[in-house]
Amino acid sequence: MNKQQRTKLIEYQTRAFIEGTIEYINDQWVFFDKETDEASLLEEFLHQDIEVFRLKRWKKGILHEEGKLSADNEVLLLKDQDTIRIRKHLVFSLEKLLEGMNDDAFFQFITTLNSLRFSVYDCIYCYNQLSFLDHNERKSGVNFIVFDNQDHICNVQHHFSYFEKMNDRFEFTLNSGKRMVIEKISS
């Protein structure tokens, strides 16, 4: 699995976006989150990728001042009541953990998480023990990750041992009591 395949698997996760509408109020663009009804200034997302829904499809571009979106060699002007979506950022420690996993463990973790109806974007906490072991030849320990998809909570313990063999064991526990364990050992 190359970096592009990993990126695609993460990009197409559910709940990867904050979606809502925008309004031009008092000479400022205001974003209203569809899920929470919270308002925020659109300028908080300047120079980030956003997508606007136009002509029955999402058009991706970079947000600039004055409600301008540069997309595919053109500049789009945002309009009052446009529907937009903004990609969420992964929790930093989870992002680093995913980058450090071997391909098999990465794939098993993501697909199992998805089968339990969770997305990597549902992460609310991640303790990455591996980030403290960068220079050690023998690495072992446990990472703790908590996900909340608004229906359930999922706690994941990632037990790892990297020395002669690479051993990854993931223990998924939901607040409903459901448990699942997967283990990946490779030489």
Is 43 found in the same domain as 109? no
What is the pLDDT of the chain when averaged over all its residues? 93
Among 35, 52, 87, which residue terminates a domain?
87
Is 153 found in the same domain as 72? no
Is 62 found in the same domain as 99? no
Tokens of 172: 């998924």
Within-domain flag for 7: no
The pLDDT, as a whole number, for residue 96 is 95
Residue 177 has pLDDT above 90, yes or no: yes
Measured CA angle at 95 (ends 50, 34), to 5 deg: 35
> 11 vs 137, which has greater pLDDT?
11
Cβ–Cβ under 8 Å, residues 151 and 178: no
Is 168 found in the same domain as 96? yes
Cβ–Cβ under 8 Å, residues 139 and 130: yes
Q: Which residue has the tokens 């999922």?
A: 154
Is 126 found in the same domain as 78? no
Within-domain flag for 96: yes
Q: Which residues of 136-167 are buried (b: 16+ CB within 10 A; e: fewer)?
A: eeebebebebebebeeebbebebbbebeeebb
Within-domain flag for 4: no
DSSP conformation class of 118:
-
Q: Which residues contact 79 (CB under 8 A, 6 or more apart)?
A: none
Counting the structural domains of the chain, the total is 2
Is 74 found in the same domain as 137? no
The whole-angstrom separation of Cα 159 and Cα 167 is: 8
Which domain does 56 fall in, by range?
17-87
Measured CA angle at 141 (ends 149, 111), to 5 deg: 35
pTM: 0.85
Within-domain flag for 6: no
Residue 134 has pLDDT above 80, yes or no: no
